[in-house]
Amino acid sequence: MSRDKNTTLSHLYGIAGLVPGLIGLVYLVKTDAHWQEYALLASGWVTAIFYALMLVRCFSQSRSDGEQIGELKGQVKALENSLIAKEGLLTYLSGVLMSGEAKPRKRNTEKPINLNPLEAQP
């Protein structure tokens, strides 16, 4: 969603939550309600405020996460391009340096080193 659609959705959500609360408040004042009913209405408003704060925090956190992901994607793309360039250079240099056939390495005739100190040495 674009930023304008998110703003419109947030305003609609706020209005949709505000209207029933105001209707409930007017109803309580007109009927001369007991304190328990006012406490119930107040607890609903407190809960709504907490939910609104959580939504604002989630929106701001998701926006910053999206920006960070965009930066990281740019860095990954730059690293991929660098890797491709280095691979091309490596291919060129290996082709230049290897002018003949590959020769086998000399065989090592020394005894292998025993890495386990618990085994007896001859």
The predicted-structure confidence for 89-121, as pLDDT tens digits, reads as follows 888 777 777 765 656 666 666 666 666 666 655
With 0.75 as the threshold, say if the pTM is over it: no
Identify whether 113 is part of a domain.
no
CA distance 90 to 96: 10
Residue 121 belongs to some domain of the structure: no
Tell me whether residue 119 is in a domain: no
Domain membership flag for residue 15 = yes
**Does 2 have pLDDT greater than 60?**
no
CA dihedral of 25, 26, 30, 32, whole degrees rounded to 10: 10
Please state, in angstroms and rounded to a whole number, the distance separating the CA atoms of residues 45 and 42.
5
What value does the mean pLDDT take over residues 1-17? 65
**Domain that includes residue 44, residue range:** 3-94
112 is a domain residue: no
Whole-number Å distance between alpha carbons of 4 and 10:
10
Q: How many domains does the chain have?
A: 1
**pLDDT, tens only, 22-74:** 777 777 776 777 777 777 777 777 887 888 788 888 888 888 888 999 999 99
**Residue 116 counted as domain residue:** no
